[in-house]
Homo-oligomer: A and B are copies of this chain.
Amino acid sequence: MSVTAAAGFDAAGVAAGLKGSGGLDLALVVNRGPLTSAAAVFTSNRSKANPILWSQQVIADGAVSAIVLNSGGANCFTGPQGFQTTHATAEAVAAALEVSAGDVLVCSTGLIGEQLDRPKVLAGVEAAAVALSAEGGTAAARAIMTTDTVEKTAVHTGAGWTIGGMAKGAGMLAPALATMLVVLTTDAVLDATELDTALREAVRTTFDRLDSDGCTSTNDQVTLLASGASGIRPEPADFQEELSAVCADLARQLMADAEGASHEITIEVRGAASEADAEDVGRSIARSNLFKTAVFGNDPNWGRVLAAIGTTGADFDPYRVDVSMNGVRVCHAGQPDAPRETVDLSPRALLLELELFAGDAAATILTNDLTHDYVHENSAYSS
């Protein structure tokens, strides 16, 4: 059900002809109200795609009637012509739905530096508008897929209200063409400011801690829309808890489907002086090609973990750190502990635990190994 699980939302996914495969490539999600509250977070990359530049303006007043998303092209570094395509797409949605173009978000994903086929996009919008239904969530989730092998959806319910979501890609810091696009919907009664606060907190500890290859897309966008159709105003803490759970659920699905990965790596950093330190330490490991290739080879090379964290500015003593892999403590107090041969890295899941002995803060970073398939999938994307 994904984005149509919550009351007040219709969706559709259609084939607009943007993908060479002929598959679904354009999704439309409409908020039927009564509320049109919305919040969104965008890529931190300064090289922003045209739909990001457009959507940042749309979200400014906290009101969104619809969001249209296409795969098959990022519409990034495509100049004024590309921006006009984004604008025309929003106008087409507005005309079809009789809403304001200034209340229509646009997302795109695919190759940078090539123009989208505007007539195909506009025809796709018309087809999607006709196809809209309360059962359209799954088709919409399929239409935003690029190298994703499965659609990612999640639904959580509160006391009389629901949050649904769909996602594609593999991380706010994303592999390959795998820009991360997420649309979350709820029928809870919440205003735009409340949504913004909840969304930023949820993203901070979920999508922002999924780091597949350290590369930040030009097109990442996470959007939360509220229809208020349930008529119920949840306790902020309850809504936060469920929203964070939906985001964590989708983030795990993105990690599981990351391009070419053969291991899903959960990096738990504890005993940090601050949460920022813990995140920094975890991310340095997630971005170490040496560590990630070792994991691919089922090699519990903990020296590469310590080499990675030594490049951070976090407050800890590298010679006091404990490192465990799948429950086996391989390094203690700057020296080898259990023999590395006792670590079994053959399962797909790897739990890497670090105890920094510098404080009480913690953070968990999700990543993948670096494999032959990653190199293969990313070495000839535009050809």
A contact residues vs B (CB 8 Å cutoff): 44-48, 74, 76-79, 82, 111-114, 175-176, 213-218, 287-290, 293-294, 296-299, 301-304, 306-312, 318-319, 330-331, 333-336, 340, 370-372, 374-376, 378-383
Contacts and interface: CB of A to CB of B under 8 A. Distances in A.
A47 B375 contact: no
Contacts of A307: 45, 47, 112, 215-218
Given A218-B306, A318-B46, A381 B289 contact: no
From A78, A307, A311, A319, residue with most partner B Cβ within 10 Å: A307
A360 to B, nearest CB: 22
User: How many copies of this chain?
Assistant: 2
Contacts of A217: 307
12 contacts: A47-B318, A77-B306, A78-B336, A213-B290, A216-B310, A290-B378, A293-B374, A294-B380, A296-B375, A296-B379, A299-B382, A301-B381
The A interface, classified by DSSP as helix, strand, loop or mixed, is: loop
A218 B310 contact: yes
Nearest to A288: B215
From A303, A340, A370, A372, residue with most partner B Cβ within 10 Å: A303
A380 B298 CA distance: 8
Contacts of A309: 47
A38 to B, nearest CB: 25
A1 to B, nearest CB: 33
From A176, A296, A382, residue with most partner B Cβ within 10 Å: A382
A276 to B, nearest CB: 17
